[in-house]
Amino acid sequence: MNRIAVVGTGYVGLVSGSCLSDFGLNVICVDKDEEKIKGLKCGVIPIFEPGLQPIVERNVYYKRLEFTTDLRQAVESCDVIFIAVGTPPADDGSADLTYVEQVARDIARYMNGYTVIVNKSTVPIGTGKKVKEWINEEMAKRGASFEFDVVSNPEFLREGSAVHDFTHPDRVVIGTDSKRALEVMKQVYRVLYLNETPFVETNIETAEMIKYASNAFLAMKVTFINEVANLCEHVGANVQDVARAMGMDGRIGPKFLHPGPGYGGSCFPKDTRAFAEMARKFGVSLSLVEQTVEANERQKLLAAQKIERVLGDLSGKQLAVLGLAFKPNTDDMREAPSITILNELAQKGVTFKVYDPAAHREAKWRLKNIEDRIIYCQNEYETMEGSDALVIITEWNQFRSLDLNRVKELLRQPYFFDLRNIYKKKDMESRGFKYFGMGQ
Ligand code: NAD
């Protein structure tokens, strides 16, 4: 193996490329976004991802990691090419494969010998086959016939802990029909093989399916506990104890049982919709997934409704909002619950003082439609000055140990909406707060 190209330097591509170079491999990361590549060449990391900066710096220093916008040069000098471009939702909910197709065709234009094309983007089942067709078509146009194999290697990293997840995965899934490509992939992931990471070797379609089935299952689990939490509020049960006890059952497990204002992010919302849409095309019903999608939309609205139910007429009210990113340790706000909640409340006449440790830049364009209602603050406490209530939307660690005396002094009224259950109702009430968690 000579060198690896990773096309797309977003959350997945940049982390994968950097970590592979940290495994000692020579990697070139390609993106069509010139600004991004210009920044990366000067050491500017375009995303907030803990631990990524030193890995990039180290591997650039040792000349194992390079950045370019020149896909041709990358394809000509590499024999393994990862596709890690976005697969955003199309209008009907299905995954838009425009970028994947573009890259596949470009690879075929410049390939000059046996190449393994590894699809890391989350793509509908059957895309691996399409990639083969696109490459064959494009090679035929130039009268070339180089050998190549397509591999599906879905990525399971989570934003916010992406570096750890990439280097310590629960499993690596490799889908291919080619022994030759499988051997190449084993070399690529040699470090993980040596660390005894479990590998699942299967065909392309199964690998593609594993990614969607995993994400849909996790989204369903979150949604399940959200609905249980909603019921808890009506019957006097405490969802935290319920979730803890459920999680102690080895068949259930404790993860993804934390209620909140609905899941967001770049994966669960779009992947559940695409999965359901894909099944519909085959006349198969994924009714649980369909219900999950709907219930999650309701959950985001419920959070806004709860605030209105408690505070009454919202016109002219000011809210202190902590956390805008779809989860802590990221600046990503794609489909974040904060967007729905703030928009809903803005319609009722609310203004906001907000603080997120990483997401202000992204929030400024994603919430542009209500920008006249938002003041971006420098820290947690600034948001509370003169506000009628506090709302924690994202559970950044630094919000877990607020100076509660100061919070109470700064708020006009001690209303505390904790949409992530990071405080305890009893403690908060004994401190004089009117506290509203999830399912407590
Ligand atoms: P992203 O939007 O952060 O990055 C995609 C990058 O691809 C962008 O920088 C874009 O400029 C680049 N790009 C698009 N077309 C290109 C082209 N023709 N040539 C070169 N570069 C091009 O996306 P992401 O979050 O990294 O996700 C990538 C894929 O991985 C998606 O399919 C996603 O579903 C999947 N995935 C994402 C995560 C996650 O946590 N973000 C986790 C697992 C899987």
Contact 336, 325 (CB under 8 A): yes
- pLDDT value of residue 48: 92
Distance (angstroms) between ligand 1 centre and the Cα of 145 equals 29
DSSP letter at 224?
H
In a structure prediction context, what are the per-residue pLDDT tens digits for the chain, which is 440 residues long?
Answer: 679 999 999 999 999 999 999 999 999 999 999 999 999 999 999 999 999 999 999 999 999 999 999 999 999 999 999 999 999 999 999 999 999 999 999 999 999 999 999 999 999 999 999 999 999 999 999 999 999 999 999 999 999 999 999 999 999 999 999 999 999 999 999 999 998 999 999 999 999 999 999 999 999 999 999 999 999 999 999 999 999 999 999 999 999 999 999 999 999 999 999 999 999 999 999 999 999 999 999 999 999 999 999 999 999 999 999 999 999 999 999 999 999 999 999 999 999 999 999 999 999 999 999 999 999 999 999 999 999 999 999 999 999 999 999 999 999 999 999 999 999 999 999 999 999 999 99
pLDDT reported for residue 39: 97
Cα(18) to centroid of ligand 1, in Å? 15
Provide the pLDDT for residue 2: 74
What is the ipTM, given to two decimal places? Answer: 0.99
CATH architecture for residues 4-202: 3-Layer(aba) Sandwich (3.40)
Residue 127 near ligand 1, beta carbon < 6 Å: no
Residues 376/367, Cβ–Cβ less than 8 Å: no
Which of 354, 367, 351 shows the shortest CA–CA distance to 318?
A: 351
Sign of CA dihedral 225, 227, 230, 231: negative
C-alpha angle 84-361-164 in degrees, rounded to nearest 5:
45
Q: 50, 1, 57: which is closest to 166 by C-alpha?
A: 50
CA of 429 to the centre of ligand 1 (A): 44
What is the Cα 251 distance to its own chain's centre?
Answer: 26
Phi, psi of 49 (to 5 degrees): -145, 110
Question: Which residue minimizes the CA distance to atom 12 of ligand 1?
Answer: 8
Best probe residue, ligand 1, of 11, 19, 30 (max atoms within 8 Å of C-beta): 11
What are the residue boundaries of the structural domains of the chain, listed by start? 4-202, 215-436
pLDDT of residue 12: 97
E strand or H helix at 391, and its extent?
strand 389-392
**CA max distance for the chain:** 77
Distances (CA, A) of 222 to 225, 262, 292, 304, 335: 5, 8, 9, 19, 16
Mutate to test the pocket of ligand 1, among 12, 121, 156, 278 (most ligand atoms within 8 A of CB): 12
Q: Is 267 in the pocket of ligand 1 (CB under 6 A)?
A: yes
Tell how far the Cα of 394 is from the centroid of ligand 1, in angstroms: 23
Rounded Cα–Cα distance for residues 256 and 214 (Å): 12
Q: Residue of the nearest CA to atom 29 in ligand 1? A: 121
Would 4-202 and 215-436 be classified into the same CATH topology? yes
Q: What is the CATH number of domain 215-436?
A: 3.40.50.720
Query: Contact 261/321 with Cβ under 8 angstroms?
Result: no
Q: What are phi and psi of 390, to 5 degrees?
A: -110, 135
Cα gap 39→14, rounded to integer Å = 13
Determine whether 19 is an active site residue: no
Ligand 1 and 173: CB distance under 6 A: no
Contacts of residue 400, defined as CB under 8 A and 6 or more positions apart, other chains included, come to 422
